[in-house]
Amino acid sequence: MATLRYITRQILSNTIKADNKLQVNNTRAVWLRYLNYSPIVYDESRNPAPFFFDQRIQTLLKTLTRVDFAKVFRKRKLGASKVSDPEYKFMTDEELQESIKKAARRANKLLQIPPAVSVHKPKDRIVAKDPALQGLESCRMVFTDITFGLKDCDRLIVVREPDGTLQEAEWELRYRMNQLYFPRKTRSLRTPKMFEDAYLETLLDRQEYEFILDAACVQFEPDDYKYQQVTSVTYQHINDKNGFDIVRSTRHFGALAFFLAWNKDIDNLLLDLIESSRIDEGNCLVELYCKIHGVPIESSSELEAIEEYIEKYSSKKSALQLAVQAYKELAKQNDELKKGIEVAHGIS
């Protein structure tokens, strides 16, 4: 595996770096430009939700996440005052298997992937206009339905403008009102400074990817413009820095893989999987790409399917073809070594 990585990295260092900027119709936010990345959101031109919630795509994303119990249940710095002592139990085989199944169910819940949905439309519906109220107040008046049990997205929140216009509250104001009347414990009333340019840049340079993405999930809704700006820049940084192992076996890896496949930028991740001899996962990534973009792959075997993708759709053919060739040579050497060991032990 080390030899495989060395050979491919040597070629990569001698080739001209391809332009990896995502060539899609995207919304570029002026307030969030750093590290040469432009935020990319899921706009209304093509809704990702039907693809994301497809059962087969969900299976592919979970396979790519690669569940590792040691990482999923590791001790984390969450501000707890005291770390609980480990608990040891003597179990029968049946109890052990049941405990493993229970851990798998819990891990599956912890690894629930944040959904990919289109960014919400602006709230601009005018309810009524009453010119007689113009000048009565010099500030906006907000009216919020605080009926218990309503979903935040369904709650009626309207604004009376100084000119007498009564209209629906914009999304940012809706979030503040919902947080004011029905506060969520971990969400701030105002957007935390960590999502501002300078602070976020520092976190990205330190590769605090999971911290950033966890905080974004807490602070914003999946269809929030700011959520998709922050996460898209983080995904691009992970992709460019090959920081896949940092977020692997977390709930964010599936969202990362979907984002890269959606924007036709899976080559770095595919290269990482080939170099680590994860051909099965590489095939899942290629299948994910094909399902999202409706392109055919005719090859039946996993390795041939990857080679066909490289030939037809890849923008980094030389590096990927070299990685596949190195994998084949390594696999051949392993087969010869295995046969030699079998002969030495008298196994026909």
Residue with tokens 């707890």: 80
The CA-atom distances, in angstroms, between 135 and each of 131, 141, 203 are: 9, 13, 47
Task: Answer positive or negative: Cα dihedral of 304, 308, 311, 315.
Answer: negative
Residue 22 has pLDDT above 90, yes or no: no
DSSP 8-state symbol, 135: T
Phi first, then psi: what are they for 173, rounded to 5°?
-65, -40
Q: Describe the strand order of the beta sheet including 165-168 as a list of residue ranges.
A: 126-129, 165-168, 157-160, 141-144
CB 262 within 8 A of CB 117: no
Look at 1 and 118; give whichever has higher pLDDT: 118
Burial of residue 176 (number of CB atoms within 10 Å: 0-12, 13-18, 19+)? middle
Burial of residue 26 (number of CB atoms within 10 Å: 0-12, 13-18, 19+)? middle
Residue 301 has pLDDT above 60, yes or no: yes
Residue 264 has pLDDT above 90, yes or no: yes
CB 255 within 8 A of CB 116: yes
Tell me the average pLDDT across 199-209: 94
Return the pLDDT at 84: 73
The total number of residues shown for the chain amounts to 348
In angstroms, the CA 225 to CA 318 distance is 37
Return the pLDDT at 26: 41
Q: Nearest-5° angle of CA 273, CA 279, CA 280?
A: 110
CB 219 within 8 A of CB 188: yes
In angstroms, the CA 327 to CA 343 distance is 24
CB 63 within 8 A of CB 76: no
Label residue 79 by pLDDT band (50, 70, 90).
Answer: low
Tens of pLDDT, residue by residue over 239-255, are 999 999 999 999 999 99
Least confidently predicted of 49-58, 67-76, 155-164, 236-245: 67-76
Residue 12 has pLDDT above 50, yes or no: no
In angstroms, the CA 153 to CA 120 distance is 11
In angstroms, the CA 118 to CA 122 distance is 12
Percent of the chain having pLDDT more than 70? 88
Return the pLDDT at 11: 42
For the entire predicted model, the pTM comes to 0.83
Return the pLDDT at 81: 58
Residue 108 has pLDDT above 50, yes or no: yes
Phi first, then psi: what are they for 166, rounded to 5°?
-110, 120
Return the pLDDT at 8: 47
Tell me the average pLDDT across 54-73: 94
Return the pLDDT at 222: 94
Tell me the average pLDDT across 47-59: 96
Return the pLDDT at 189: 87
Label residue 27 by pLDDT band (50, 70, 90).
Answer: very low
Mean pLDDT across the chain? 86
Tell me the average pLDDT across 153-160: 91
DSSP 8-state symbol, 46: S
Return the pLDDT at 80: 56
Label residue 78 by pLDDT band (50, 70, 90).
Answer: low
Task: Look up residue 289 and give its amino acid.
Answer: Y
Tell me the average pLDDT across 65-88: 79
